[in-house]
Structure 1
Amino acid sequence: MSTGESAAGHPALPDYTVYSLTPLQRNMAIITGGLLLYGTGYLFYHQLLLALLLVPGSAYGPRLLRGLLLQRRRAALTLQFKQMLFSLSSSLSAGRSVENAFREAVLDLRMLDPEGSGDMLAELDIICARMEYGEPVEEALYDFSRRAAMEDVERFADVFTVCKRTGGDLVEIVRRTSSVIGEKLDIQQDIAVSIAQKKFEAKALLVSPLMMVMFMSLTAGEYMDPMYTGAGIAISTVALIALFLCYLWTNKIMDIPL
């Protein structure tokens, strides 16, 4: 994903609320969406021109792909943040300073991600680099929470900043905060797993009418001929609209904010 550049020409820091598709990803989303819509249209109408009327809807494909990739990226970042919290808590409990605890977290996450492709590992590198230039760690952490726009990250940054500046028991507060956030993330993952099967069932129910129409067209073509002329076209159109509304409805039901 491209992160863009700042106004000064320097590479901008990642913004985890947006996702920029590459030209290849965008084109593939449009082409794939166009083929699927054309196939669906031809399946319901058996007329080239009417099927082509659905193809412009493929312009919505990049938006769907962007949302899917952004969701996966944020989910991965959440998991990596949880791993970072446990590493940070362990290091502070072992008597390391805050700065060394963040440096140690880099090593711990690199063991879990040898390729170094994780966003959290990149953010820890940024935090450590800022500390090398004398920037307070809480400012670097706050900047990360602002770009991540995640409740747990923002909460941890606020607690960490207040504790660091007021001289509180940083080890105990980080340990408790890490434990609470970790338990919350575990619950969120359990919920995601529990609804995964329902999401699969919803997709299967949406695909089943298409499979039924295809089966009837292949095995009983004469029986299906009335659906492709006269009033049958109107009925097919109503069926397509109903199927699309069901798709929107199921997506709305299954979209559970975690």
Structure 2
Amino acid sequence: MDYSKYTMSFKDLGFVLLKSAAVTLVIAYLFYDSIIPLIIFPLIFVYIFRQYKAEAVIKQKQRLTEEFMNALKILSANLLAGYSVENAWKEAEGEMHMMYGENSLMLAEIRDMNRKIKLNQTFEQVLSEFADRTEVEDIVNFADIFSFAKRSGGSFVDIIESTTYRMWTKYDTNRQIEVSVSAKKLEQKTMNYIPIVLLAFLKIASYDYMSALYRNFTGIIFMTICLGAYAMAIKLANRILSVNIGISK
């Protein structure tokens, strides 16, 4: 599976379609009071479609990272119990199934890796191939450390245990950061709707006052500038509050 891509379901497409239609209608009605702007619907659909897929890829990688960290903890515990790497990873398959069920991304990967190991591929090789496909920083780093530990001739189990501890510490720190930022993200999403609500209120309650902004060249230019500034403010706020630590290389 290529984790840098996301396959849209019919439900996803329906959501994107409805959101695109809503945004187009808001722009046409509140900013221009005309049906002519409806022609930009395809552009808005393409933009929202790409944005939705990008966000879905990030969530997919976040889910994989969480499951991988738990698989890593299981691997470390099995190695301390005296299992070989191959047997420790085989045991992790059953434990991951109990934790996440059949819908687990990592469970499918573990099964595929165990199948390749049975075909005489090394764990180091299948882990490296998996890390390259995910393009997730934590997984790539662990694969590199694992390869180094195998070649170094030192205490392999101790290196893996200490690496697991450090990675979990970093992962927990990142999660705490995301939780602390989530409240600000909610505030930002709420603030995004305030200008639209105010504009809708003014247009409904005081249409005569707002009518000077519609169906004339000066009004169209002014409302276009306002729309551009509004879009840029949302984009800037999203960029400031974006926290995707440890997801991509």
Give the TM-score taking structure 2 as reference length: 0.90
Work out whether residues 64 and 105 of structure 2, in 8 Å CA contact, stay in contact via their aligned partners in 1: yes
- Specify the SS of the correspondent of 2:6: coil
Q: Does 1:244 align with 2:231?
A: yes
Runs of 4 or more, structure 1, over 3 Å off, are 22-28
**In the alignment, what sits opposite 2:7?**
20
Equivalences for residues 157-196 of structure 1 within 5 A: 157-196=143-182
Moved more, 186-195 or 40-49: 40-49
- Specify the SS of the correspondent of 1:184: helix
Work out whether residues 58 and 244 of structure 2, in 8 Å CA contact, stay in contact via their aligned partners in 1: no
- Specify the SS of the correspondent of 1:54: helix
**Which of 36, 54, 64 is the equivalent residue of 1:67?**
54
**In the alignment, what sits opposite 1:33?**
20
CA distance in 2, matches of 1:240, 1:170: 59
Letter in 1 for 2:138: D
**In the alignment, what sits opposite 2:44?**
57
Once the two structures are TM-superposed, the CA of residue 27 in structure 1 deviates from its matched residue by 6.0
CA distance in 1, matches of 2:185, 2:46: 24
Letter in 2 for 1:86: K
Letter in 2 for 1:250: A
**In the alignment, what sits opposite 1:220?**
206
Cα RMSD (Å):
1.8
Work out whether residues 87 and 105 of structure 1, in 8 Å CA contact, stay in contact via their aligned partners in 2: yes
CA distance in 2, matches of 1:209, 1:35: 16
Once the two structures are TM-superposed, the CA of residue 39 in structure 1 deviates from its matched residue by 2.4
Once the two structures are TM-superposed, the CA of residue 28 in structure 1 deviates from its matched residue by 4.7
CA distance in 2, matches of 1:254, 1:184: 19
CA distance in 2, matches of 1:48, 1:75: 41
Q: How many residues were matched structurally?
A: 243
**In the alignment, what sits opposite 2:127?**
141
**Which of 42, 65, 81 is the equivalent residue of 2:29?**
42
Moved more, 53-62 or 70-79: 53-62
**Which of 130, 145, 163 is the equivalent residue of 2:116?**
130
Give the TM-score taking structure 1 as reference length: 0.87
Q: Does 1:76 align with 2:75?
A: no
Work out whether residues 227 and 235 of structure 1, in 8 Å CA contact, stay in contact via their aligned partners in 2: yes
Once the two structures are TM-superposed, the CA of residue 22 in structure 1 deviates from its matched residue by 4.3
**In the alignment, what sits opposite 1:206?**
192
Residue ranges of structure 2 left out of the alignment (5+ in a row)? none
Q: Using CA pairs below 8 Å that are at least 6 residues apart, which structure has the higher relative contact order?
A: 2
CA distance in 2, matches of 1:75, 1:205: 26
CA distance in 2, matches of 1:60, 1:31: 13
CA distance in 2, matches of 1:31, 1:206: 18
**Which of 94, 104, 110 is the equivalent residue of 2:91?**
104
CA distance in 2, matches of 1:182, 1:24: 34
